[in-house]
Protein backbone atom coordinates (compact mmCIF):
# COMPACT_ATOMS: atom_id res chain seq x y z
CA UNK A 1 0.00 0.00 0.00
CA UNK A 2 1.39 3.40 -0.98
CA UNK A 3 1.94 6.17 1.59
CA UNK A 4 -0.74 8.87 1.56
CA UNK A 5 1.60 11.44 0.00
CA UNK A 6 2.47 9.22 -2.96
CA UNK A 7 -1.19 8.33 -3.43
CA UNK A 8 -2.10 12.04 -3.47
CA UNK A 9 0.53 12.71 -6.15
CA UNK A 10 -0.85 9.89 -8.26
CA UNK A 11 -4.36 11.33 -8.01
CA UNK A 12 -3.05 14.76 -9.00
CA UNK A 13 -1.24 13.25 -11.99
CA UNK A 14 -4.34 11.39 -13.18
CA UNK A 15 -6.54 14.47 -12.76
CA UNK A 16 -3.92 16.42 -14.70
CA UNK A 17 -3.79 13.99 -17.61
CA UNK A 18 -7.58 14.06 -17.70
CA UNK A 19 -7.69 17.87 -17.75
CA UNK A 20 -5.10 18.05 -20.53
CA UNK A 21 -6.99 15.41 -22.47
CA UNK A 22 -10.27 17.27 -22.11
CA UNK A 23 -8.59 20.49 -23.25
CA UNK A 24 -7.21 18.94 -26.43
CA UNK A 25 -10.55 17.25 -27.16
CA UNK A 26 -12.17 20.68 -26.96
CA UNK A 27 -9.48 22.37 -29.08
CA UNK A 28 -9.67 19.67 -31.74
CA UNK A 29 -13.44 19.46 -31.73
CA UNK A 30 -13.94 23.20 -32.14
CA UNK A 31 -11.29 23.39 -34.88
CA UNK A 32 -12.91 20.46 -36.68
CA UNK A 33 -16.24 22.27 -36.68
CA UNK A 34 -14.49 25.38 -38.01
CA UNK A 35 -12.87 23.38 -40.82
CA UNK A 36 -16.28 22.25 -42.07
CA UNK A 37 -17.90 25.65 -41.58
CA UNK A 38 -20.16 24.37 -38.84
CA UNK A 39 -19.27 26.96 -36.24
CA UNK A 40 -16.46 26.33 -33.81
CA UNK A 41 -13.11 28.09 -33.93
CA UNK A 42 -9.52 27.41 -34.88
CA UNK A 43 -8.07 28.58 -31.59
CA UNK A 44 -5.72 27.50 -28.85
CA UNK A 45 -6.28 26.00 -25.43
CA UNK A 46 -7.28 29.23 -23.69
CA UNK A 47 -9.88 30.32 -26.22
CA UNK A 48 -11.30 26.79 -26.41
CA UNK A 49 -11.73 26.53 -22.65
CA UNK A 50 -13.28 29.98 -22.42
CA UNK A 51 -16.13 28.60 -24.54
CA UNK A 52 -17.19 26.76 -21.39
CA UNK A 53 -18.34 30.09 -19.96
CA UNK A 54 -21.17 30.03 -22.51
CA UNK A 55 -22.52 26.76 -21.08
CA UNK A 56 -24.61 26.04 -17.98
CA UNK A 57 -22.39 25.93 -14.89
CA UNK A 58 -19.63 27.20 -17.16
CA UNK A 59 -17.61 28.92 -14.44
CA UNK A 60 -17.63 25.78 -12.32
CA UNK A 61 -16.54 23.67 -15.29
CA UNK A 62 -13.79 26.13 -16.17
CA UNK A 63 -12.57 26.20 -12.57
CA UNK A 64 -12.47 22.39 -12.46
CA UNK A 65 -10.42 22.16 -15.66
CA UNK A 66 -8.13 24.99 -14.50
CA UNK A 67 -7.44 23.15 -11.25
CA UNK A 68 -6.78 20.00 -13.24
CA UNK A 69 -4.25 21.81 -15.43
CA UNK A 70 -2.57 23.20 -12.31
CA UNK A 71 -2.40 19.65 -10.95
CA UNK A 72 -0.83 18.52 -14.22
CA UNK A 73 1.71 21.34 -13.98
CA UNK A 74 2.66 20.27 -10.46
CA UNK A 75 3.04 16.66 -11.56
CA UNK A 76 5.20 17.65 -14.54
CA UNK A 77 7.55 19.62 -12.29
CA UNK A 78 7.82 16.79 -9.75
CA UNK A 79 8.18 14.21 -12.51
CA UNK A 80 10.95 16.18 -14.24
CA UNK A 81 12.97 17.01 -11.12
CA UNK A 82 12.64 13.60 -9.44
CA UNK A 83 12.83 11.61 -12.72
CA UNK A 84 9.73 9.66 -11.72
CA UNK A 85 9.46 8.17 -15.22
CA UNK A 86 13.09 7.05 -15.29
CA UNK A 87 14.30 9.09 -18.27
CA UNK A 88 17.77 9.24 -16.74
CA UNK A 89 20.58 11.70 -17.31
CA UNK A 90 21.42 10.92 -20.93
CA UNK A 91 21.16 13.88 -23.34
CA UNK A 92 17.81 12.55 -24.57
CA UNK A 93 16.56 11.96 -21.03
CA UNK A 94 17.61 15.39 -19.82
CA UNK A 95 16.01 17.02 -22.86
CA UNK A 96 12.75 15.16 -22.18
CA UNK A 97 12.79 16.18 -18.53
CA UNK A 98 13.55 19.79 -19.44
CA UNK A 99 10.62 19.76 -21.86
CA UNK A 100 8.34 18.42 -19.14
CA UNK A 101 9.58 21.10 -16.74
CA UNK A 102 8.89 23.84 -19.29
CA UNK A 103 5.52 22.32 -20.07
CA UNK A 104 4.70 22.31 -16.37
CA UNK A 105 5.35 26.04 -16.23
CA UNK A 106 3.16 26.70 -19.25
CA UNK A 107 0.28 24.55 -18.00
CA UNK A 108 0.57 26.12 -14.56
CA UNK A 109 0.36 29.61 -16.01
CA UNK A 110 -2.66 28.62 -18.12
CA UNK A 111 -4.39 26.99 -15.16
CA UNK A 112 -3.87 29.97 -12.86
CA UNK A 113 -5.03 32.40 -15.55
CA UNK A 114 -8.19 30.42 -16.28
CA UNK A 115 -8.95 29.96 -12.60
CA UNK A 116 -8.85 33.74 -12.24
CA UNK A 117 -11.35 34.08 -15.08
CA UNK A 118 -13.61 31.43 -13.54
CA UNK A 119 -13.57 33.30 -10.22
CA UNK A 120 -14.31 36.58 -11.95
CA UNK A 121 -10.87 38.01 -11.20
CA UNK A 122 -9.28 37.79 -14.62
CA UNK A 123 -9.90 38.86 -18.19
CA UNK A 124 -11.51 36.44 -20.58
CA UNK A 125 -10.62 38.26 -23.78
CA UNK A 126 -7.38 39.48 -25.29
CA UNK A 127 -5.07 38.18 -27.97
CA UNK A 128 -4.33 34.53 -27.26
CA UNK A 129 -0.78 34.68 -28.60
CA UNK A 130 0.08 37.93 -26.82
CA UNK A 131 1.92 36.23 -23.98
CA UNK A 132 4.23 34.43 -26.39
CA UNK A 133 4.82 37.67 -28.28
CA UNK A 134 5.61 39.53 -25.06
CA UNK A 135 8.28 37.10 -23.89
CA UNK A 136 9.70 36.91 -27.41
CA UNK A 137 9.95 40.70 -27.52
CA UNK A 138 11.71 40.66 -24.13
CA UNK A 139 14.10 37.94 -25.26
CA UNK A 140 14.92 39.79 -28.47
CA UNK A 141 16.05 42.77 -26.40
CA UNK A 142 18.61 40.69 -24.52
CA UNK A 143 22.23 40.16 -25.64
CA UNK A 144 22.23 37.62 -28.48
CA UNK A 145 18.43 37.80 -28.35
CA UNK A 146 17.89 36.77 -31.96
CA UNK A 147 20.08 33.72 -31.45
CA UNK A 148 18.19 32.82 -28.27
CA UNK A 149 14.77 33.09 -29.94
CA UNK A 150 16.08 31.09 -32.89
CA UNK A 151 17.38 28.41 -30.53
CA UNK A 152 13.99 28.20 -28.81
CA UNK A 153 12.30 27.92 -32.21
CA UNK A 154 14.62 25.13 -33.29
CA UNK A 155 14.00 23.40 -29.97
CA UNK A 156 10.24 23.53 -30.57
CA UNK A 157 10.77 22.15 -34.10
CA UNK A 158 12.90 19.34 -32.64
CA UNK A 159 10.17 18.56 -30.09
CA UNK A 160 7.68 18.39 -32.95
CA UNK A 161 9.94 15.96 -34.78
CA UNK A 162 10.10 13.81 -31.65
CA UNK A 163 6.29 13.75 -31.46
CA UNK A 164 5.97 12.80 -35.13
CA UNK A 165 8.60 10.09 -34.69
CA UNK A 166 6.75 8.78 -31.66
CA UNK A 167 3.57 8.62 -33.70
CA UNK A 168 5.34 6.83 -36.56
CA UNK A 169 7.11 4.28 -34.36
CA UNK A 170 3.95 3.53 -32.43
CA UNK A 171 5.49 3.22 -28.93
CA UNK A 172 2.82 5.47 -27.45
CA UNK A 173 1.40 2.85 -25.06
CA UNK A 174 4.72 1.88 -23.50
CA UNK A 175 3.77 3.47 -20.16
CA UNK A 176 0.15 2.31 -20.17
CA UNK A 177 -1.30 -0.72 -18.38
CA UNK A 178 -4.02 -1.34 -20.96
CA UNK A 179 -6.52 -4.19 -21.22
CA UNK A 180 -5.53 -6.46 -24.12
CA UNK A 181 -8.64 -5.63 -26.17
CA UNK A 182 -8.06 -1.87 -25.83
CA UNK A 183 -4.46 -1.83 -27.04
CA UNK A 184 -5.04 -1.90 -30.86
CA UNK A 185 -7.31 1.15 -30.98
CA UNK A 186 -5.39 3.00 -28.27
CA UNK A 187 -2.18 2.64 -30.30
CA UNK A 188 -3.80 4.09 -33.43
CA UNK A 189 -5.45 6.95 -31.56
CA UNK A 190 -2.21 7.80 -29.76
CA UNK A 191 -0.10 7.66 -32.91
CA UNK A 192 -2.49 9.93 -34.80
CA UNK A 193 -2.61 12.33 -31.85
CA UNK A 194 1.15 12.61 -31.38
CA UNK A 195 1.69 13.11 -35.11
CA UNK A 196 -0.83 15.97 -35.22
CA UNK A 197 0.67 17.58 -32.15
CA UNK A 198 4.08 17.34 -33.78
CA UNK A 199 2.79 19.18 -36.87
CA UNK A 200 1.53 22.06 -34.74
CA UNK A 201 4.91 22.22 -32.96
CA UNK A 202 6.64 22.46 -36.35
CA UNK A 203 4.47 25.43 -37.30
CA UNK A 204 4.91 27.18 -33.95
CA UNK A 205 8.66 26.61 -34.08
CA UNK A 206 8.80 27.89 -37.64
CA UNK A 207 7.13 31.14 -36.62
CA UNK A 208 9.66 31.51 -33.80
CA UNK A 209 12.57 31.01 -36.19
CA UNK A 210 11.01 33.59 -38.53
CA UNK A 211 10.67 36.01 -35.62
CA UNK A 212 14.37 35.50 -34.82
CA UNK A 213 15.45 36.08 -38.42
CA UNK A 214 13.36 39.23 -38.75
CA UNK A 215 13.80 40.34 -35.11
CA UNK A 216 10.05 40.84 -35.00
CA UNK A 217 8.01 39.38 -32.15
CA UNK A 218 4.72 39.99 -33.97
CA UNK A 219 5.50 36.92 -36.11
CA UNK A 220 5.15 34.60 -33.12
CA UNK A 221 2.03 32.44 -32.92
CA UNK A 222 0.76 29.80 -30.54
CA UNK A 223 -1.45 26.78 -31.14
CA UNK A 224 -4.38 28.89 -32.33
CA UNK A 225 -2.14 30.77 -34.75
CA UNK A 226 -0.74 27.49 -36.06
CA UNK A 227 -4.24 26.17 -36.78
CA UNK A 228 -5.22 29.40 -38.49
CA UNK A 229 -2.06 29.24 -40.60
CA UNK A 230 -3.11 25.78 -41.79
CA UNK A 231 -6.55 27.09 -42.63
CA UNK A 232 -5.01 29.81 -44.81
CA UNK A 233 -3.22 27.32 -47.09
CA UNK A 234 -4.57 25.87 -50.36
CA UNK A 235 -7.04 23.16 -49.37
CA UNK A 236 -6.62 24.59 -45.89
CA UNK A 237 -9.90 23.19 -44.63
CA UNK A 238 -8.59 19.67 -45.33
CA UNK A 239 -5.30 20.37 -43.52
CA UNK A 240 -7.16 21.95 -40.63
CA UNK A 241 -9.65 19.09 -40.44
CA UNK A 242 -6.90 16.43 -40.35
CA UNK A 243 -4.87 18.29 -37.74
CA UNK A 244 -7.95 19.07 -35.65
CA UNK A 245 -9.00 15.43 -35.71
CA UNK A 246 -5.48 14.51 -34.64
CA UNK A 247 -5.57 16.95 -31.73
CA UNK A 248 -8.93 15.53 -30.65
CA UNK A 249 -7.32 12.07 -30.86
CA UNK A 250 -4.47 13.31 -28.67
CA UNK A 251 -7.06 14.55 -26.19
CA UNK A 252 -8.80 11.18 -26.23
CA UNK A 253 -5.46 9.50 -25.64
CA UNK A 254 -4.94 11.85 -22.69
CA UNK A 255 -8.15 10.55 -21.14
CA UNK A 256 -6.83 7.01 -21.65
CA UNK A 257 -3.60 8.06 -19.93
CA UNK A 258 -5.59 9.43 -17.01
CA UNK A 259 -7.04 5.97 -16.45
CA UNK A 260 -4.32 3.54 -17.49
CA UNK A 261 -0.94 5.27 -17.29
CA UNK A 262 1.62 3.69 -15.00
CA UNK A 263 2.43 6.36 -12.44
CA UNK A 264 5.15 5.82 -9.86
CA UNK A 265 5.23 9.02 -7.82
CA UNK A 266 8.16 9.66 -5.52
CA UNK A 267 7.78 10.05 -1.79
CA UNK A 268 6.60 13.60 -1.01
CA UNK A 269 9.66 14.24 1.10
CA UNK A 270 11.95 13.14 -1.72
CA UNK A 271 9.89 15.14 -4.22
CA UNK A 272 10.17 18.27 -2.07
CA UNK A 273 13.93 17.79 -1.83
CA UNK A 274 14.13 17.34 -5.62
CA UNK A 275 12.17 20.55 -6.20
CA UNK A 276 14.32 22.44 -3.68
CA UNK A 277 17.54 21.10 -5.19
CA UNK A 278 16.33 22.05 -8.65
CA UNK A 279 15.41 25.57 -7.53
CA UNK A 280 18.82 26.00 -5.89
CA UNK A 281 20.65 24.57 -8.89
CA UNK A 282 22.24 21.73 -6.93
Stated pTM of the model: 0.88
Helices (H) and strands (E) in the chain, counts: 10, 0
Give one DSSP letter per residue of 210-270, joined into a string.
HHHHHT-GGG---HHHHHHHHHTSTTHHHHHHHHHHHHHHHHHHHHHHHHHB---PPPHHH
Inform me whether the pLDDT recorded for 11 exceeds 60. yes
Listed range (1-5, 9-13, 70-74, 235-239) with the worst mean pLDDT:
1-5
Range of the domain at 154: 4-280
Inform me whether the pLDDT recorded for 130 exceeds 80. no
pLDDT at 127: 59
Which one, of 257, 223, 227, lies nearest residue 240 by Cα?
A: 227
CA distance 267 to 7: 9
Q: With both helix axes pointing from N to C terminus, report the angle between 130-140 and 183-214 in degrees, rounded to the nearest 10.
A: 50
Give residue-wise pLDDT tens across range 39-93: 888 889 999 999 999 888 999 999 999 999 999 999 999 999 988 888 888 988 8
Total count of domains within the chain: 1
pLDDT at 260: 95
pLDDT at 169: 85
Give residue-wise pLDDT tens across range 201-229: 999 999 999 999 988 888 888 899 899 99
Amino acid sequence: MRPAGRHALEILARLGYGARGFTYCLVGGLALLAAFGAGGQAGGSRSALLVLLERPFGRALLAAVALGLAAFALWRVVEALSDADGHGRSPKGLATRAGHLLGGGLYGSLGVSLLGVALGRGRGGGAEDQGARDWTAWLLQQPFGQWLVGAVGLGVVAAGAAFVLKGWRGDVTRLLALPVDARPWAVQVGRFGYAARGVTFWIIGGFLVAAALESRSSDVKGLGGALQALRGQPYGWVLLALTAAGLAAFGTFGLVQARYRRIDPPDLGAAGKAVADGALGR
